[in-house]
Amino acid sequence: MSKYAIKPGATVPPTPFYYYDLDLLRRTLGVATEEANRYGYHIHYAMKANVERPILEEIRRAGLGADCVSGYEVRCAVENGFAPEKIVFAGVGKSDGEIEYAIEQGIFAFNCESLQELEVIDGLAKAQGRRVNVALRINPDVRPETHRYISTGQAESKFGISYTEVDEALARLNELPNIRIVGLHFHIGSQIRNLESFAELAERVNEIARWFEERGVTLRHLNMGGGLGIDYEGPDEEPIPDFAGYFRTFHDHLKVREDQTVHFELGRSIVAQCGELITRVLFTKTTAGGARFAIVDAGMTELIRPALYHAHHRIENLTAEAEKEKRAMGVYSIAGPICESSDVFAREIEFPESRRGDVLALRSTGAYGSIMASNYNMRPIAPSIFGGEE
């Protein structure tokens, strides 16, 4: 059930807006850090999921570091109080300016994704008279069960250094004196619910790490990326993801030396369930073919995942739920106002009879909702409201 309940006599703010339950976020952070600490693991929050300031404040206070995939995210992390020594910088296309800023800040490590990137970072570090930490992002060719757009660990992916290029990377290290290879980085994709994919990753990492160490490379840390999925179908059944099973899977399968640290980059699993997109029904209509639509004032400008991935979000009619008498059910498609045929949140779902002015909630939008918002059709960015503030 939506955390944003309509109270009798209360006025609902102008829609659309994002609503965040900070209490659920704090509980999620508590479980995640407790389970990670059980094995001495380190968590870096994936900034790309959500950068609302109150959310970043809760995450920083919980002791997480930051995982950044652009120099702008590095700057955002620094400006929001994340310690540079807990910031990792990944991303397949880092610009020179972004790299220079991260070097100046003294971040924990760059996660490098190509041979040419190693050369560029070495040159930029030399110009600053510094030597910087680098983790090689290796593409392990693991195929997780997830959407192809958010799957990143296969041989044909643009991400990471191919395992076929590792020999050449090692051969070049002596020519790059301003970088220090301190670890390996992996990330096979997002919204992965089958923990067997992570077990397969851990076994593959064991092979790759052993290969490096046999060639004299000391690996001070292993970064396993993120990817843990959430329950979009039943957010109330699993409001907090299975962090215990996730970290236990790596503990059971990953071989770690005593002097080695293990790092994770979690985003969606931390923030997704604490957020909702609240919207109103503008119009209802029935097409010549008999299809019934509820047209709402939120669209792909506020939540692009359904249009981009055909992603599912549970939708609730809060007005209908607040009424004493139960409404009849019907088959509806819930669509936005954007001038694109793909601007549909759900097609032909069982839904309470909906009327103009009804308030709806799209659940599980704390990740990849507001952060991916756009001004397409010259729409303003929707505001955010925070509940459960201390």
Which residues have a Cβ under 8 Å from the Cβ of 96 and sit 6 or more positions away?
Answer: 120, 124
SS3 for 14?
Answer: coil
Which residues have a Cβ under 8 Å from the Cβ of 89 and sit 6 or more positions away?
Answer: 68, 69, 71, 74, 98, 102, 107, 109, 110, 111
Euclidean distance between the first and the last CA atom of the chain, given in angstroms as a whole number: 22
Mark whether 72 and 99 lie in a shared domain: yes
Mark whether 288 and 192 lie in a shared domain: no
Residue 137, domain member (yes or no): yes
Mark whether 207 and 283 lie in a shared domain: no
Q: How far is CA 48 from the centre of its chain?
A: 6
Mark whether 34 and 121 lie in a shared domain: yes
CATH number assigned to the domain comprising residue 151: 3.20.20.10
Residue 204 structure tokens? 């593959």
**How much of the chain is helix, strand and coil, in % rounded to 5?**
35, 25, 45
The answer to whether residues 371 and 50 touch, using CB atoms and an 8 Å cutoff, is yes
The residue range of the domain holding 94 is 23-270
Which residues have a Cβ under 8 Å from the Cβ of 172 and sit 6 or more positions away?
Answer: 115, 118, 119
Q: What is the pLDDT of residue 160?
A: 65
Q: What is the pLDDT of residue 141?
A: 66
Per DSSP (E only), the strands in 147-189 are: 161-162, 179-185
Q: Read off the pTM.
A: 0.93
Mark whether 256 and 315 lie in a shared domain: no
Out of 241, 270, 299, pick the residue that ends a domain. 270
Out of 224, 242, 270, pick the residue that ends a domain. 270
Mark whether 197 and 55 lie in a shared domain: yes
Mark whether 83 and 203 lie in a shared domain: yes
Out of 217, 246, 270, pick the residue that ends a domain. 270
Mark whether 117 and 181 lie in a shared domain: yes
How many C-beta neighbours within 10 Å does residue 7 have? 8
Question: What pLDDT, in 10s, does the model give residues 116-153?
Answer: 899 999 999 999 999 999 999 987 766 544 434 333 33
Q: How far apart are CA 259 and CA 256, in angstroms?
A: 8
Residue 110, domain member (yes or no): yes
Q: Please identify which residue in the block is written with the tokens 């929050």.
A: 45
CA angle 160, 201, 117 (to 5 degrees): 15
Q: How far is CA 144 from CA 90, 112, 190, 262, 301, in A?
A: 20, 22, 9, 21, 29
Mark whether 233 and 309 lie in a shared domain: no
Half-sphere exposure of 325 (CA within 13 A, CB side): 3
Residue 58 structure tokens? 């809760």
Question: What pLDDT, in 10s, does the model give residues 246-288?
Answer: 999 999 999 999 999 999 999 999 999 999 999 999 999 999 9
Which residues have a Cβ under 8 Å from the Cβ of 389 and sit 6 or more positions away?
Answer: 22, 54
Residue 266 structure tokens? 């979690």
Mark whether 200 and 278 lie in a shared domain: no
Residue 13, domain member (yes or no): no
- Is the sign of the CA dihedral 31, 34, 39, 41 positive or negative? positive
Mark whether 245 and 298 lie in a shared domain: no
Q: How far apart are CA 309 and CA 148, in angstroms?
A: 9
Residue 16, domain member (yes or no): no
Q: Please identify which residue in the block is written with the tokens 């009804």.
A: 358
Which residues have a Cβ under 8 Å from the Cβ of 235 and sit 6 or more positions away?
Answer: 273, 314, 363, 364
Residue 288, domain member (yes or no): yes
Mark whether 191 and 140 lie in a shared domain: yes
Instruction: Extract the residue ranges of the chain whose pLDDT is less than 70.
Output: 141-160, 163-164, 390
Q: What is the pLDDT of residue 154?
A: 41
The answer to whether residues 145 and 127 touch, using CB atoms and an 8 Å cutoff, is no
Q: How far is CA 96 from the centre of its chain?
A: 25
Q: What is the pLDDT of residue 190?
A: 87
Residue 232, domain member (yes or no): yes
The answer to whether residues 36 and 63 touch, using CB atoms and an 8 Å cutoff, is no
Provide the domain count of the chain. 2
Residue 166, domain member (yes or no): yes
> Which of 72, 75, 84, 79 is closest to 44 using CA atoms?
84
CATH number assigned to the domain comprising residue 288: 2.40.37.10
Residue 169, domain member (yes or no): yes
Q: What is the pLDDT of residue 143?
A: 52
How many C-beta neighbours within 10 Å does residue 53 have? 12
- Is the sign of the CA dihedral 152, 154, 158, 161 positive or negative? positive
> Which of 83, 76, 35 is closest to 61 using CA atoms?
83
